[in-house]
Amino acid sequence: MVMTSEQRVEASEIAGKGRSPWADARRRFFRNKAALMGLVILGFVVAFAVFGNSFAQWSNEELDYNVMGQIVELGGPSIESGHYFGTDDLGRDLFARTVQGTQVSLAVGLVGALIACVVGTLYGAVAGYFGGRTDSIMMRLVDIFMAVPYMFVLILLLVMYGRSITILFAGVGLISWMEMARIVRGQTLTIKGREFVEAARATGVSAPVIILRHIVPNLLGVIAVYATLLVPLMILTESFISFLGLGIQEPLTSLGALISEGAGTIAYGTTWQLGFPLLFFCLTLFGVTA
């Protein structure tokens, strides 16, 4: 195999001095143009969500009575009026509401993924460590849970306990942990036979301590990778629920709710009501998946 000049330089650098795994990962990351672009876009979206309200001239609940009843003629994007993204159908500033919607969607994605990772990791680690009948029973329960349509369960939770943001966080997270449990269980079956686990068991260390201090830390790489896949899934799920009108209630909003409102009024010519929320929704998904 003939090495290119770039590969020869890289090989000589590695041979000349050692390089930590973090340094190697960082070097590979900054060579990946798609990953860099995703990081830049995600940074922009996060900055918009965190600092966007500092640039808003209107609050997300304040009504502009000058444009009410004349949204098509006067409610479009305008720097002079302070409505950078225009107004919604009730005369509220769409810029401020898009900031709030981005905050809620990002929060649902992060919190939902965190809940799914914690529950799935602990469940899968316990099943894999104890094995035998315990493992069989626990994983058969996972199979049963996965056979139930998760969207039906989430809608049922929101209808029964109210459309609050807390129920949305918990519901989105608690219906998404099963796949994580399967992955962690498989990895635990491999790790529990390692020498350090056998040594800890021989010295009388309890099972919970072995799971939390010896097994779970060795699974962080797998957990981190799957968590990055869960975040966009959580955002999509929340947006779909909000698009159906079953998401969080006013005065809170999300990108899915704003897209639903914009889609309902676009026939009247208010394209900005759909365009800006949809733009930030696409940017958010691209940023977390690139």
Per-residue pLDDT of the chain (290 residues; tens, 9 = 90+): 555 655 555 555 544 455 565 677 677 767 878 778 888 998 999 999 999 999 999 988 888 888 888 888 888 898 988 899 999 988 899 999 999 999 998 998 888 889 999 999 999 999 999 989 999 999 999 999 888 888 888 888 888 887 778 888 888 887 889 999 999 999 999 998 888 888 988 888 899 999 999 899 888 888 888 888 888 888 888 888 888 878 777 778 889 889 988 988 888 889 999 999 999 999 998 888 86
Q: What is the pLDDT of residue 129?
A: 92
How far does CA 263 lie from the centroid of its chain? 24
Count of all residues that appear for the chain in the document: 290
* Run of H or E residues at 113: helix 94-130
Torsion of CA 150, 153, 154, 158, to 10 degrees: 170
3-state secondary structure of 87: strand
How much is the pLDDT for 120? Answer: 93
| 2: helix, strand or coil | coil
Q: Which domains does the chain carry?
A: 87-289 (1.10.3720.10)
pLDDT at 147: 87
- Residue-level pLDDT at 10: 56
Cα–Cα distance between 172 and 231 in angstroms, integer? 11
Q: Report in angstroms the alpha-carbon separations of 218 from 17, 125, 184, 267.
A: 27, 11, 10, 54
User: What's the confidence (pLDDT) of residue 243?
Assistant: 81
95, 56 Cβ separation under 8 angstroms: yes
Q: What is the pLDDT of residue 182?
A: 93
- 116: exposed, middle or buried (Cβ count in 10 Å: 0-12, 13-18, 19+): buried
Give the pLDDT of residue 16. 47
CA distance 125 to 133: 15
Q: Would you tell me how many other CB atoms lie within 10 Å of the CB of residue 240?
A: 15
| Nearest to 168, CA basis, from 118, 109, 210, 99 | 109
Question: For position 160, what pLDDT does the model report?
Answer: 84
